[in-house]
Amino acid sequence: MAILSPRVMNFAYGFGAAVVIVGALFKLMHWPGASAMLIAGLGTEALIFGLSAFETPAQELDWTLVYPELAGGQPTAKKARKEEPVEAQGILSQKLDAMLKEAKIDGELMASLGNSIKNFEGAAKNMAPTVDAIAGQKKYADEMLAAANNMASLNNLYKSQLESASRNAEANQEIAENAAKLKEQMQSMTTNIATLNSVYGGMLSAMSNRG
């Protein structure tokens, strides 16, 4: 349980660091009271470190849940690309069934068209086309025209699905690139913090040796 609020602790960290720096400045410049200032600065810093032991640890976010590649796993983008064609195929199949049902193209209709064609062929051979054959031919032409229109709509739908899949693939690629950049920045930040700690430790050691 934290003794002080995070805002107060943040102020204490900044104020303590300022006192340490001022004490080090007095010591390096050999100004009067340098030893007292250095003792005051280090004492203040020690007190702040002691209070920080009671500070509630910050919640660490598990970035591997969003970017599995940070933990050595596979990016979720690959899975999405694999599932996209299957989902698109299911949508296209449903749309095709709906279009065929709307156009009333079924087994009975196909049989009727076949009979109409046979009647038309027989009438052509006998050079005496009948009214039924002419009606069957007109119905066949109308149904073929409706089927062609439905196929055009199906092609447009398929094109739209492909464009959507392409956009999703580009978005997933961008997510993977951002994750890689984030990893590089985190590694760079870790290196910079380690370097800063080393310099800070060396400064404290130098001041302790001179003291």
Q: Residues 85, 157: one domain?
A: yes
Q: Residues 90, 175: one domain?
A: yes
Q: Residues 25, 43: one domain?
A: yes
Q: Residues 29, 128: one domain?
A: no
Q: Residues 88, 180: one domain?
A: yes
Q: Residues 101, 135: one domain?
A: yes
Does 121 reside within a domain?
yes
Q: So what's the pLDDT on residue 24?
A: 87
Q: Residues 115, 51: one domain?
A: no
Q: So what's the pLDDT on residue 153?
A: 84
Q: Residues 93, 51: one domain?
A: no
Does 201 reside within a domain?
no
Does 184 reside within a domain?
yes
State which residues form the domain around 29. 6-60
Q: Is the four-CA dihedral 68, 70, 74, 80 of positive or negative sign?
A: positive
Count of structural domains, the chain: 2
pTM: 0.28
Q: Residues 31, 91: one domain?
A: no
Does 202 reside within a domain?
no
Q: So what's the pLDDT on residue 130?
A: 59
Q: Which ranges of the chain have pLDDT less than 70?
A: 1-4, 56-63, 67, 69-90, 96, 100, 103-110, 123-124, 126-135, 210-211
Does 156 reside within a domain?
yes
Q: Residues 128, 78: one domain?
A: yes
Q: So what's the pLDDT on residue 109?
A: 67
Does 194 reside within a domain?
no
Q: So what's the pLDDT on residue 157?
A: 84
Q: Which of 37, 60, 83 is the last residue of a domain?
A: 60
Q: Residues 38, 95: one domain?
A: no
Q: Which amino acid is at 177?
A: E
Does 1 reside within a domain?
no
Tell me if 206 sits within 8 A of 122, measured CB to CB: no
Model confidence pLDDT, tens digit, residues 97-139: 777 677 666 666 667 777 777 777 776 676 655 556 666 777 8
d(CA 20, CA 33): 14
Q: Residues 183, 82: one domain?
A: yes
Does 209 reside within a domain?
no
